[in-house]
Amino acid sequence: MKNAISRIFFNKWAAFAHDVLCVPVALLLAYWLRFNMLGIPLPYIDSARMLLTTVMPLQSALFWFFGFYRGFWRFASLPDLIRIIQSVVVGTVLCVLVLIVLLRVGPVPRSVLVLYPLLLIFILSGSRLLYRYSKDHHFLLEKKSGKRALIVGAGRAGDSLVRDILLSNSYQPLGFLDDDILKHGREIRGVRVLGSLTDLATIGQQLSIETVLLAIPSARRESILSMVKECSRLELECKTLPSIFELTGQQIETRHLRNITVNDFLGRLPVKLDIGAIDGYLAGKIVLITGGGGSIGSELCRQVAKAQPKRLIVFEHGEFNLYSIELELRKKFPDLDLVVVLGDVKTENRVAWAFRKFRPEVVFHAAAYKHVPMLETNPAEGVFNNVIGTKMVADAADRFGVKRFVLVSTDKAVNPANVMGTTKRIAELYCQNLAQRSKTKFITTRFGNVLGSAGSVVPLFERQIKEGGPVTVTHKDISRYFMTIPEAVGLILQAGSMGRGGEIYVLEMGDPVLIRELAEQMILLSGLKLGEDIKIQYTGLRPGEKLFEEVFHAKEGLLGTEHPKLQLAQARLVDWQWLTEEIAMLKEAAQGRDLGRLFTQMKKIVPEYSGPGASLAEYSDEMPEPRLRVVA
């Protein structure tokens, strides 16, 4: 450690000594050029001496003032050149003021005052760039360790990546591939652009390439899939940089390279968020997040914490989930005023206590039961959590003067075919209609499946592939909308900034994805061959499952908004007294585990409910249930 510190100290003073010596060299060169490469005439000797004795200490002080020695010559770049220009220009102006205006020193040729700063800038910057070039060039020539790699993408990301690779021993960058023919034959930091993506097989064989590095953070899924298939065919390792959304605010480095995941296949063009608008309603505010330990809730915590709220309250009923998110937030945001509350949204006095104690100004309600087959066999618990729990939290928000309440909903609430979707639709209805008689702005966000969430299809497929298969798909034509968790949460926060109360914001989900194709892509990513190493097995639709999901109802009249990824579904208002009475009867049915009455009430509140449970509406809990074994 001491050796490292002494070396840095020595290098800093060596650089300073070099820069100070450059000052008289530049000044003498300026006089030499001015007088036709001859000696300085006698009348100018005294003024030249005064100029030298004044400019050296002054310019030396400015070198430190402008931060010349905070960086390393090894990484000299445009900011260093700007600092050099600023320092020399300011130094020259100050010298002129001191010598000519204040001290009225004898004749100083005006051409010298022009040549001197130009020469000094050239010497200071040239020496740094020459040093960097020699180091980079030497490193590139000597670099023999690491995997032999081709970099796909000769843009900014590729430039940043190869710069970092040249400082490590992980890879040998032997060339770039890019479809822009204007870049072919050119070099980036000494590494040549060898051809297009279609040349991968030929160039890969010629150079004995071992790995391909994708440096296109904004790549479309089709491009990534094509490249992965080609690398798989050629038996080449393939790694990628994260998406632009994941890399926001970070400098691209080799450590960011990772294996390609299903998220990359399903990812879309990066979403641009209005960070100012989001910070505007979160910064300095007391924010409460229910279900803060879940997939969506925990990401809400992370992104809200970045907005620097006055206090963040995480309300979660799962002890381990709450413990995990608390550890993460305290590590990443040590200055965050964080409060963790172990509690259930179905417990009214616990919810009321949290609101009364902490007086949140913004609430994100992400607590929900979301596993479709589970709620089909446990409908009463689904009603308690998703309907009654939401009602308790929404009522508390209204009673304690919360400014904004954002409900996290689902596309399964549209024409629901299951208990989960129906309960979420009732929660939407309650919040929409409560907004009409409350000072709180109740805003609903609705979107489809999120990649990697607890209970989603992706972890299931990963486990089945690891176990050797088969990978189970319910139907060959079943499709779903997908988006990444960070993208979904970013749009939830954006919708929260736009809402005025009572709206349902529908997150633009792109094109639906066939689950069969998703399974095939995940098998490919695992380096296995479909049908040979692992098979896909079709098991039939589960209770409450639809072949495809919808994101809005025909009567909601979908409208555009100022954000291209958010659409607005117009609220369907109902009589308030009728709604509250029907929900009260729904609660009674759930408490009594009266299945017939429970499904009758759900069907009455949401007439479009068409799931298996709807057919039980005519039965009491004492009669045998057709088609479905319901535990309740």
> Which residues face 340 on adjacent strands?
314
Find the DSSP H helices in 240-316. Answer: 244-247, 262-266, 275-282, 295-306
Residue 91 is encoded by which pair of tokens? Answer: 């130094």
Digit-coded pLDDT (tens) for 134-191: 665 554 444 456 788 888 888 888 888 887 787 777 788 888 888 888 888 887 877 8
Digit-coded pLDDT (tens) for 177-233: 888 888 888 878 778 888 888 888 888 888 888 888 888 766 666 777 788 888 878
pLDDT of residue 104: 64
H or E, element range at 349:
helix 348-358
- The residues, ordered by sequence, that sit 6+ positions from 1 with a Cβ below 8 Å of its Cβ are none
The domains of the chain, with CATH numbers, are 2-139 (no CATH), 143-260 (3.40.50.720), 275-453+481-510+550-591 (3.40.50.720)
User: How far is C-alpha 443 from the geometric centre of its chain's CA atoms?
Assistant: 23
> Which residues face 630 on adjacent strands?
none
DSSP state of 384: I
pLDDT of residue 145: 64
What does 12-41 look like in DSSP terms, one character per residue? HHHHHHHHHHHHHHHHHHHHHHHTTTSPPP
DSSP state of 444: E
Question: For the chain, which residues score pLDDT lower than 50?
Answer: 1-10, 139-143, 244-249, 618-628
pLDDT of residue 351: 96
Residue 8 is encoded by which pair of tokens? Answer: 């840095």
Give the residue carrying structure tokens 């413990």: 323
pLDDT of residue 173: 86
Q: Is the separation of the CB atoms in 160 and 188 below 8 Å? A: no
pLDDT of residue 105: 60
- C-alpha angle 364/369/375, rounded to 5°? 155
User: In the sheet that 187-188 helps form, which strands lie side by side, from edge to edge?
Assistant: 187-188, 191-195, 171-177, 147-152, 211-214, 237-240, 258-259
Report field, pTM of the whole predicted structure over 0.75: no
Q: Please count the residues of the chain.
A: 632
Read off φ and ψ for residue 417, nearest 5 degrees. -115, 10
Q: Is the separation of the CB atoms in 491 and 445 below 8 Å? A: yes
SS3 407: strand
- C-alpha angle 367/368/372, rounded to 5°? 160
Of 369, 363, 384, the residue nearest 318 (C-alpha): 369
